[in-house]
């Protein structure tokens, strides 16, 4: 009888250890939101993430945090992209997720394109000047004789 009891205790202990080891980590990060110029940004540590485009929830990975103390407002990894550059936030409508890009990221992976005008790189701006309310674009033409 003692031997059966001993085996049962060992078996229960082993099962408990296995279940604890297989459990998911609950160390989720409470991230903050901040007002941008007409958009909501996510701040995490020393980084600011701005909306980039809508993506499928199927491409979202492990949940890494939530926003403003709302545990149902999920922030996740996106594919195999580094989280210091890209994160995704589940949308409550449309069944999608919003992909956020860290503001300093310059290399955009193939297949992704920003849906927002504030995300256009400054080097893509056309040189222009406004004189008396009229906007003049730089054509690149240089007049040589004055």
Q: How confident is the model at residue 116, as a pLDDT?
A: 79
Question: What's the longest Cα–Cα distance across the chain?
Answer: 110
Closest CA to 87 of 103, 72, 75: 75
pLDDT of residue 3: 75
Q: What is the mean pLDDT of each run of 10 residues along the chain (146 residues)?
A: 67 60 67 87 93 91 93 92 94 82 90 75 59 70 72
| Spatial separation of the C-alpha atoms in residues 112 and 95, rounded to whole Å | 19
What's phi and psi for 22, nearest 5 deg? Answer: -85, -10
Q: State both tokens at 9.
A: 């205790």
Alpha helix ranges (H) inside the chain: 2-22
Q: Closest Cα to residue 64, out of 47, 41, 84, 35?
A: 84
Give the pLDDT confidence score for residue 44 in this predicted structure.
Answer: 93
pLDDT at 52: 93
Cα distances (angstroms) measured from residue 23 to each of 15, 19, 20, 37, 108: 12, 6, 5, 41, 35
């Amino acid at each position: 009888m003692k031997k059966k009891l001993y085996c049962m205790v060992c078996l229960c202990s082993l099962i408990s250890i296995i279940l604890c080891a297989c459990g998911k980590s609950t160390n989720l990060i409470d991230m903050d939101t901040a007002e941008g110029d007409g958009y909501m940004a996510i701040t995490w540590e020393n980084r600011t993430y701005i909306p980039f485009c809508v993506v499928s929830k199927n491409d979202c990975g492990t949940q890494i945090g939530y926003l403003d103390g709302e545990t149902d407002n999920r922030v996740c990894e996106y594919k195999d992209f580094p989280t210091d550059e890209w994160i995704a936030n589940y949308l409550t409508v449309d069944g999608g997720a919003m992909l956020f890009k860290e503001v300093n990221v310059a290399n955009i992976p193939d297949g992704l394109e920003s849906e927002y005008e504030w995300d256009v790189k400054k080097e893509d701006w056309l040189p222009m000047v406004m004189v008396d309310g009229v906007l003049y674009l730089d054509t690149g033409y240089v007049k040589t004789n004055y």
